Structure 1
Amino acid sequence: MSAENEKDNDWGKSAAAVVIKDGKVLLVRHTYGAGKGLLIIPGGYIRKGELPDAACEREVLEETGVTVKAEKLIGVRFSDKDWYSVFTASYVSGEARSDNDENSEAVWIDAYEATERDDVPDLTRIMIQSALKETGFVQTDFVSRNKDRIQKLYTI
């Protein structure tokens, strides 16, 4: 992550994606922190002024070289210091590859196998299971009284 991007991050907000293509899920092997050495879904911090779905798409591309389109919101984790949103995302293009920074590899693994692996942490496992259910909140169009702000509404 470049120093330029670091100053633009909103450190209390992050987004990630579960990308499933042909029954396989896209995972990255993390190189730092609590997730070091584990296979996790790609994601990261939201930049100031960026919406979570756009951050999800950007982070997947930066970390894996794969272009995706965010679809359903399938999970939100809240803590006393931050929040984390997870979307399903459809594959658009690209070959999975490591960013050689935040991850040491980007791989496609059978989605059901991934939920049984010891090197896949609980949060990633739960999000993959949620994506496999094919349910979640979808973006719903609406007209807001405050038309000068970009807003998105997700509903069941």
Structure 2
Amino acid sequence: MSSDAIRRVRPAAYAVCVEDERILLARWIGADGTRLWTMPGGGLDHGEDPYDAAIREVAEETGYEVELVRLLGVDSENFLIPADSVTPQPRDLHGLRIVYEGRVTGGELRNETDGSTDLAAWIPLAEVSELKRVSLVDIAIALYRDRPALGRIVR
């Protein structure tokens, strides 16, 4: 990594909601228009508790109210984001992702408008491997299935 890269830690919180062998996912839109499936959730506002952020983000991205059942784990991953017309310096992003198990308690499924996602859907777990998705989806499913004692998936 070159020393002129902007370095940033981004804490985020997500919820794994599984019902009837289906998982709730949201489709993320990249700055370049790329669309990839991800877990509902996202970045914490300054001073926001991760628990509250996960609930807020799921509501924003899917329309559902959720109850968080348990902490599944924490994932840490570095991303190099190349320079572009908006940010002329490359960015070295350290994603710190807090993953909870969630249960839908109300609301109605809907798509987010004017946000970082454009679609929310229940996807059969057996079909997830066929989707274009971010690495967090596989990590979150592994945390949900394996429930490792230390809340960490070793890659």
TM-score normalised to the size of structure 1?
A: 0.70
1:31 deviates by: 1.3
Secondary structure of the structure 1 residue equivalent to 2:13: strand
Q: How many pairs align?
A: 127
13-22 vs 121-130, greater mean Cα deviation: 121-130
1:129 deviates by: 2.8
Q: Structure 1: how far apart are the matches of 2:120 and 2:45?
A: 23
Letter in 1 for 2:37: L
Question: Do 2:24 and 2:39's aligned partners in 1 also have CA atoms closer than 8 Å?
Answer: yes
1:60 deviates by: 0.2
Pick closer, same or farther for the CA change 1:68–1:136 going to 2, 3 Å: farther
1:82 deviates by: 4.5
What residue ranges of structure 2 are gaps of 5+ in the alignment? 1-8, 79-93
Question: Do 2:36 and 2:133's aligned partners in 1 also have CA atoms closer than 8 Å?
Answer: yes
Counterpart position of 2:23 = 25
Q: Structure 2: how far apart are the matches of 1:127 and 1:65?
A: 20
Match of 1:68 among 60, 66, 69: 66
Secondary structure of the structure 2 residue equivalent to 1:77: strand
Match of 2:105 among 72, 92, 108: 92
Percent identity of paired positions between Structure 1 and Structure 2: 30
Secondary structure of the structure 1 residue equivalent to 2:44: strand
1:53 deviates by: 1.2
Secondary structure of the structure 2 residue equivalent to 1:38: strand
Larger strand fraction of residues: 2
Match of 2:138 among 115, 119, 125: 125
1:26 deviates by: 0.6
Letter in 2 for 1:74: L
Pick closer, same or farther for the CA change 1:67–1:74 going to 2, 3 Å: same
1:18 deviates by: 0.9
Aligned-residue RMSD, C-alpha: 2.6
90-99 vs 117-126, greater mean Cα deviation: 117-126
1:36 deviates by: 3.2
1:35 deviates by: 9.1
Determine whether 1:44 maps to 2:10.
Answer: no
